[in-house]
Amino acid sequence: MPMLLNHTSTSTPTSGPTNTAHPPPHSGTATPAAAPTTGCAGFHHDQHDDCGCLPALVQQHQDEEAARGYKTLQWRTAPVRIPVDGESELVELGLRDIADEDQADIDTATVNATAGLFDAYTTPEERARTADIAGELSDPEKQTAELLQEVDALHSAALDRAAAAGDLRHATYLAGGRLEQLIEQLWEADVAAYETAYLATIRTLLTARGLPADVEILSTSDADAGGCDDELAWGLRAEVLSATPLPVVDLIPGKSVTKYTTDELRDAGLTYLDRARALLHTEPAPSTASLRSTPTDRASR
């Protein structure tokens, strides 16, 4: 019995001070760093949770940034990756309609100016075969590389005969085809110029918000694969569109414009046909070989 009493009296005062300095997890005086008794799974938080775990802190920061409209980006060290599809934006703004109209105009003018050219320099057998191929190509399931190559060969043979005969319609036909190619090249150049201006606007906006890193532009295909700042890109889109000047013409859409009419764009000076003609005058005369990529519907003329 004396030994039992001694054990009890010596253990109690010894353990008391120790527990006061280092209380057990469930003593009611646990330090703030202790984990909640329910545990933190990292995905259960709402705006009222404050357990201090990393997922909660990240979510809190993202919520704060979204509430501010991403107006402060000083925290960012990596480049902001924003997808930009200049072609889609210019199509929506109406610029592609000008290019399509100009291509259709030059196509109609070329057809009218070269009426009868192919009939004059093809044999009856060649005309019959061209008609058969045209019928097959009208069915998307029957379009093959072999048929396209065959119709191009018939097409080129007729042009070569017209050139050998000195037919002036030959040069007119080649010029029309080259104008259509130049219009497409000008469109691609306008898209590239717009994307450069779009990026410059993004840089200006994000620099004003404190971003210390450069902005990287992703192509649409890269953006589809992920790895870009989708929310930030979408939040910036309307502001960037309203502040980015259009290529060639002195127009800035502003916040009220969603699409220009062709009359508005032409009044502002946008043209593809006139620009293509100016380029054509600086080039050597086009050759038959340079137009082998001309749409195959020309073979029926």
For residue 236, what pLDDT band results from cuts at 50, 70 and 90? confident
User: CA-to-CA distance for 228 and 217, rounded, in angstroms?
Assistant: 9
pLDDT score recorded for residue 295: 43
User: CA-to-CA distance for 273 and 281, rounded, in angstroms?
Assistant: 12
Q: What is the average pLDDT across 191-216?
A: 86
Q: What is the average pLDDT across 113-142?
A: 92
pLDDT score recorded for residue 224: 61
| Least confident residue range of 74-78, 81-85, 264-268 | 74-78
Tell me if residue 30 falls in helix, strand or coil: coil
pLDDT score recorded for residue 15: 44
State pTM to two decimals: 0.68
CA dihedral 54, 58, 61, 63 (to 10 degrees): -130
Q: What is the average pLDDT across 11-39?
A: 46
Average pLDDT along the chain: 79
User: CA-to-CA distance for 34 and 25, rounded, in angstroms?
Assistant: 7
User: CA-to-CA distance for 47 and 42, rounded, in angstroms?
Assistant: 13
State the first-to-last Cα distance of the chain, in angstroms, to the nearest integer.
122
State both tokens at 265: 């764009």
- Is the pLDDT at 197 greater than 80? The verdict is yes
